[in-house]
Amino acid sequence: MNRKEFEELVDAALSELPADIANEVDNVLIVVEDRPNSKQAALGNLLGLYHGVPLPERGNHYFGAMPDRISIFMEPHLAMGLSEEKLRAQIRRTVLHEMAHHLGIDDDRLREINRY
């Protein structure tokens, strides 16, 4: 799969976000990157990464800030060797997972609700 096709799957996942999540997204940029950089890779096997200030932590002082960023990493997804249908589902899970961090939901809470 080439980058354009992968980006289309990410775009599809974004367009399929549940309305209650999509309506909460604020000042966040979603980008496709080939792979995590060396510092990010030290965190473990990453499929995506949220960089920013989660919505619940933004106070009245939060304005004019650069957008938060969600990176979706292409190569780790492709290395899973999934069919296109399963890859589409995994990308959707990754996008939802990183959006959860944007909404202020941490990994512990995601585990509690079986969404990790």
Q: Mind listing the pLDDT tens digit for each residue in 43-101?
A: 888 999 999 888 777 777 777 778 889 999 999 999 999 999 999 999 999 999 899 88
Those residues whose C-beta lies under 8 Å from the C-beta of residue 24, and which sit 6 or more positions away, are 55, 103
The answer to whether residue 33 scores a pLDDT higher than 80 is: yes
Residue 54: predicted pLDDT: 84
Confidence band (pLDDT; 50, 70, 90) for 115? low
The answer to whether residue 32 scores a pLDDT higher than 80 is: yes
Kindly report the backbone phi and psi dihedral angles of residue 53, in degrees, each rounded to the nearest multiple of 5, phi listed first: -110, 110
Do the beta carbons of residue 98 and residue 46 sit within 8 Å?
no
Can you list the domains of the chain with their CATH numbers?
3-57+66-112 (3.30.2010.20)
Q: Token pair of 110, please?
A: 């995601």
Confidence band (pLDDT; 50, 70, 90) for 108? confident
Neighbours of 5 (CB within 10 A): 11
Rounded mean pLDDT, 27-41: 93
Kindly report the backbone phi and psi dihedral angles of residue 40, in degrees, each rounded to the nearest multiple of 5, phi listed first: -65, -40
Read out DSSP for 9-61?
Answer: HHHHHHHTS-HHHHTT--SEEEEEESS--HHHHTT-S-SEEEES--GGG--TT
Query: In sequence order, what are the beta bridge partners of 70?
Result: 30, 50
The answer to whether residue 114 scores a pLDDT higher than 70 is: no
Residue 74: predicted pLDDT: 98
The span from the CA of 19 to the CA of 39, in Å, is 34
Residue 15: predicted pLDDT: 93
Rounded mean pLDDT, 9-33: 90
